[in-house]
Amino acid sequence: MSEEPRLSHERSLEHPIIWVGVIGATLGSIVLLDRVAWLALPLILAVVLYYLVQPFLVRLQHAGVLPNQALMIFLVLASFVCVVASLTVLPAMFNSLARFQSELPDTMQRLTKIASEFLQSVENRLPLAKRAGLASGMEARLDFFAQGKGTQFAGDAALFAFKWLPSLLLVPFLTFFFLRDAAAFHRLVMRAVPNAFFEKTLLLFDRMDRQMRAYFRGMFWLTVLDTITLGLGLWLLGLGQNIFSFQHAMLLGLICAVFAWVPYVGTAVGGVIAVCVCALQAPHSPQLIMGVVFLFLGVRLLDEFLYTPMTVGRALHMHPLVTVMMIFAGGMLGGVYGLLLAMPLLGIFTVLGQMFGEIWFDPRLRARHSARNLLEKRLASNDLEI
């Protein structure tokens, strides 16, 4: 039985230096990005937008429009959407935020009551839980949150927005230049690469570009699919008891789908949020809460076996243990950034590591590079009679 021949870039990752470097570079980048978050956030958002907008520009070019014209058409459309959104959606959002602020203390009280009632019923059934003081501990923590940060939510949100506004204004600016000058910038970077490594480096950039494009587009479509599935599921579950309007169910679905960006952990957090919302809306309906739990389990299975292979694919080829360890390490080092960026950064550095290994451990390429240096030296000292 002969073994399947493996590609050279797969073999290059076997070198321990490479995979230690990949993990180190991923965690190092998370720390660095967390330190310069004011710049990293708009940069990352601009890259994501670049990959989401690019297919639209390609379609326009497909229809015969020149690249610069396609960009102008997109700019006009985007400006129009922004103006319409700022006139319609934003005022509604601010109104909702103000209402949420006024209802928050009452909501927190209700949530505390529901949670403590539930935990007390658990304590009555399990003596171990009673000894641990689950209900009293939880009540104290929720009270602390309600008296501290919870009641100043709108003020905090306004301060947060004010702090990040200048940084976020950079996003459209950066995206525009990425869309306009990406090819020219790519050529500029390639000029610095020595001749011997030129083709391999081009291949590296191409693989990295494909990986990032597939990841961001896949994540976008995964979010859309999760939002629709969760939103429809929540709406149908609450239909009999009139719990959610269609828009609210979809909004909750969207929030949970965004949480699901963090693999494994995110779905659980989204599920807890949805359960809390359902518990608040219908506190005496355990069937509904069980229904929500089963909905989230079902969506997790759909994600795993249908949606993810359809959208993001299994491009990263990571073992689940490595994935979870990297997510937790990322979260520990870079907080929310780390949680969200751990997997895409790991994917990028894996490709970089593979290609670096392929280039650096190829003796022929290094010999060609040395030969070029010798030729350069000889040419420079030709008339010096050394």
Partner 1 sequence: MKLWNFLRPPPLDPKLKVVGATAIFRDCSRQELEILKLYLHERHYLAGEIVFDEGEEGEGVYIVLSGKFVATRKGMLKRKKIGEILPGECFGEIALLEATPRLATVVAEESSVVLAMFRPELERLAEARPRLGFKLAMQVARLIAVRLRRMVEGTGESQVLS
**In a 3-state reduction of DSSP, which class is residue 172?**
helix
Give residues 46-65 in contact with partner 1 (rule: CB under 8 A). 58, 61-62
Instruction: Choose between 236 and 371: whose C-beta lies nearer to partner 1.
Output: 371
Instruction: Choose between 144 and 185: whose C-beta lies nearer to partner 1.
Output: 185
- Choices 22-30, 137-145, 186-194, 264-272 (CB under 8 A): range interacting with partner 1: 186-194
3-state SS, 96-123, equals HHHHHHHHHHHHHHHHHHHHHHHHHHHH
Listed residue (343, 341, 326) closest to 30, CA to CA: 341
Residue 379, interface with partner 1 (CB under 8 A)? yes
- In whole angstroms, how large is the CA radius of gyration of the chain? 26
Instruction: Choose between 40 and 70: whose C-beta lies nearer to partner 1.
Output: 70
Q: 249 burial class (0-12, 13-18, 19+ CB within 10 angstroms)? A: buried
Distance CA 316, CA 308 (A): 12
Instruction: Choose between 110 and 213: whose C-beta lies nearer to partner 1.
Output: 213
Instruction: Choose between 99 and 210: whose C-beta lies nearer to partner 1.
Output: 210
Q: How many residues bind to partner 1 according to rule CB under 8 A?
A: 25
Give residues 191-230 in contact with partner 1 (rule: CB under 8 A). 191, 195-196, 198-200, 202-203, 206
Q: How far apart are the first and last CA of the chain?
A: 60
Instruction: Choose between 149 and 372: whose C-beta lies nearer to partner 1.
Output: 372
Give residues 262-321 in contact with partner 1 (rule: CB under 8 A). none
Instruction: Choose between 332 and 371: whose C-beta lies nearer to partner 1.
Output: 371
Helices assigned H by DSSP within 15-133: 16-35, 37-62, 67-125, 127-132
Distance CA 18, CA 354 (A): 7
Give residues 64-103 in contact with partner 1 (rule: CB under 8 A). 66-67
Residue 157, interface with partner 1 (CB under 8 A)? no
Q: Around Cβ 22, how many Cβ atoms within 10 Å?
A: 23
- Choices 19-27, 86-94, 319-327, 366-374 (CB under 8 A): range interacting with partner 1: 366-374
Minimal distance, residue 376 CB to partner 1, in Å: 7
Q: 209 burial class (0-12, 13-18, 19+ CB within 10 angstroms)? A: middle
Minimal distance, residue 384 CB to partner 1, in Å: 17
Minimal distance, residue 99 CB to partner 1, in Å: 47
Instruction: Choose between 21 and 67: whose C-beta lies nearer to partner 1.
Output: 67
Considering only 184, 321, 384, 386, the residue that binds partner 1 (CB under 8 A) is 184
Q: 371 burial class (0-12, 13-18, 19+ CB within 10 angstroms)? A: exposed
Listed residue (134, 144, 135, 146) closest to 110, CA to CA: 146
**Helices 320-360 & 37-62, crossing angle to 10 degrees?**
70
Q: Around Cβ 215, how many Cβ atoms within 10 Å?
A: 21
Residue 371, interface with partner 1 (CB under 8 A)? yes
Minimal distance, residue 343 CB to partner 1, in Å: 24
**Residues binding partner 1 (CB under 8 A):** 58, 61-62, 66-67, 183-184, 187, 190-191, 195-196, 198-200, 202-203, 206, 364, 368, 371-372, 375-376, 379
